[in-house]
Amino acid sequence: MRFLFSFLTSLFLLSLPLRANLLEDYWNAVQKTKEKFEIADHSPKRFSFRLGAEIPTVLFKESLNHEVFWFCQKYIDKYHTNYPYPRFKQDIRSHLTELYGDPAQNFLSGKLSFSCFSAWKEGNSSLLKLSFFLNEEEFFPYRWDYYDNKGQLFLTEEDETKNGKKDSFTYYSHSGCPKEITKDKNDFGAMDEWWYFKNCQLVRIEHDANENGFRERICHYENGKESYCEGVGEKEEREAVQLENNQKFQEALKAYRKSLKEYKKEVSNGTSRTCTLLKKIANIEYNERDFVSFTKTLDEFFSYRACESDSLDVLIYKSYYYLYVLGDYKTARDSYQKTAEIYRKTHGELSPEILLNLAYAHFMVKDPISCLASLDKLNSRRLTAYPRFFLFYYRGSCELSLGRWDDAYTNLKRAQILGGEREFLPVVYYKLARASFATKRDQEGNLWTHQALLYDFDLMDQMDSDPLFETFFESSNGKSHKRKYYLNKQKKQ
């Protein structure tokens, strides 16, 4: 694909204690999960360390890690009674260090999932590994890995769409390699996709999307990559791919549409293949700047329920299109909210790029509180310099809108130190000047004002109508800038 949005996810990890409010958020999520699955214990429903009337800004992680561990043991004891859980101190310590690791640190790193383990000793019992993901404010199970008494994985059940139903089943050979996977991709309740392996390598996938007993598509693989497919609409798609590779995009578009038309004759309901073809069509339309057709293709794409699990990259196209091409910030905000939710479900973590764009959309629709709520989900220490600049810049801008002058000054100063792209610097200087004058840092305010005008003299109009700059424009330096600006403006006219 010629056009691809890259995520700003080149991140690094630091071993740090969790902030009090973040720790409490995950503690509360575990408590709500207990209520959902009717698991009772003596843990407090709301957990916070208090010293007198104050809550310290930094808390240790061990309490949350132990809470996750004990939730896991009670869940397994209630819902998987044929699997034991560790009861003795030595076994518990072994489980915590060797299997559970540090869930709290994973949360801090943006990973919104954890795994539970039953008790296991080689030769004595089988092992269950059960994985949970955070959906809104509760954790839900989405993957079950079953091991025999020798520690060999023999079956994985998975809820790939995370809708509460198991829809993927992987069977393993004695060597530990998958030998067959069956999937319910259309969510109709029966298997409609079969994956076959040979010597640990995927060799074939068969599809029966409308579940009529006819495998309308069979794809063959070599070295893990698709080599060719047979079936309805495949000839037209192969032609489209070749045309696209030769940069004959309009002809490729016609061939993709013909392939989709042939496929829909056989399979009228939307399937993952319908979604794939629509994505390829939308990709060309976007790059050819045919936004009318692009919008219609997106509407058709999102009309199919099957496309929801396959919609992440299309939603990124759509969100970016509305935010930066059309400037429709309200639609972009709604689209990025859905994108963030699906990304979290799909990857089990948060995307810095999506949250930053969502914050910007909130800011542009004049909702600075929601803007800050999106940014609060990001850990600046895990971001590289480029996204960190936007984190501080957006945070400072939203705080400026709320009149939180000191906080705005701090974050805008951080953005200024990081630098960012040249085109943003005059606005950063302008906003730093506003925050400086509002917090009685007049000398700094004069400096930032001068820097802003040095980069972009047209900011004078905004400054001249802003009461915060009144003192500056009463000074000789301010009068000089103002006189020069209006003289230049008259000459241009």
Task: Give residue 493's pLDDT.
Answer: 58
Nearest to 346 by CA among 170, 216, 219, 160: 160
% of the chain beyond a pLDDT of 90: 47
Residue 124 has pLDDT above 80, yes or no: no
Shortest CA distance to 321 belongs to which of 302, 299, 343, 294? 294
Strand (E) or helix (H) holding 371: helix 368-375
pLDDT at 123: 56
**pLDDT confidence band for 11 (50 / 70 / 90):** very low
**pLDDT tens across 78-97, in order?**
999 998 888 777 778 878 88
Describe the chain by its helix, strand, coil percentages, rounded to 5. 55, 15, 30
Q: Which of 295, 358, 283, 280 is nearest to 326 (CA)?
A: 295
The DSSP-derived string for 436-457 is HHHTT-HHHHHHHHHHHHHH-G
Give the integer Cα–Cα distance in Å for 81 and 17: 35
Residue 69, pLDDT above cutoff 70: yes
Task: Say what the pLDDT of residue 315 is.
Answer: 86
pLDDT of residue 76: 93
The better pLDDT of the pair 109, 229 is held by: 229
Please report which confidence band the pLDDT of residue 277 belongs to, taking 50, 70 and 90 as the band edges: very high
Residue 491 pLDDT level (bands cut at 50, 70, 90): low
Give burial (CB, 10 Å; 0-12/13-18/19+) of 118: buried
pLDDT at 158 > cutoff 90: yes
Picking from 13-27, 241-255, 277-291, which range would have the lowest pLDDT averaged per residue? Answer: 13-27
The pLDDT > 70 percentage for the chain reads: 89
CA 343 vs. chain centroid, Å, equals: 4
Residue 194 pLDDT class (50, 70, 90 cuts)? very high
The one-character DSSP state at 82 is T
| CA–CA gap between residue 131 and residue 364 (Å, rounded) | 38
Examine the pLDDT at 21 and tell me if it is beyond 80.
no
Q: Region 324-338: what's the mean pLDDT?
A: 92
Asked if residue 5 has pLDDT above 70, the reply is: no
Mean pLDDT confidence for 466-488: 84
pLDDT in tens, 369-420: 999 999 998 888 778 888 999 999 999 999 999 999 999 999 999 999 998 7
pLDDT score recorded for residue 16: 35
What do you get for the CA distance between the two ends of the chain, in Å? 47
351-370 as b/e: b if 16+ CB within 10 A: bbbbbbbbbbbbbbeebbeb
Measuring CA to CA, how many Å separate 163 from each of 34, 135, 214, 419, 474?
19, 10, 27, 43, 63
User: pTM, whole model, 2 decimals?
Assistant: 0.67
- Structural domains in the chain, CATH included, are 383-493 (1.25.40)
Q: Tell me, what's the pLDDT at 17?
A: 38
What is the Cα–Cα distance from 423 to 64, expressed in whole angstroms? 44
What are the backbone angles phi and psi of residue 292, rounded to the nearest 5°? -65, -50
pLDDT in tens, 196-247: 999 899 999 999 988 888 888 999 999 889 898 999 999 999 999 999 999 9
Beta bridge partners of 178: 172
Least confident of 48-52, 114-118, 276-280: 48-52
Q: How confident is the model at residue 108 (pLDDT cuts 50, 70, 90)?
A: confident
Res. 3 pLDDT band, cuts 50 70 90: very low
CB 205 within 8 A of CB 224: no
Q: Provide the pLDDT for residue 74.
A: 92
Which is higher by pLDDT, 183 or 55? 183
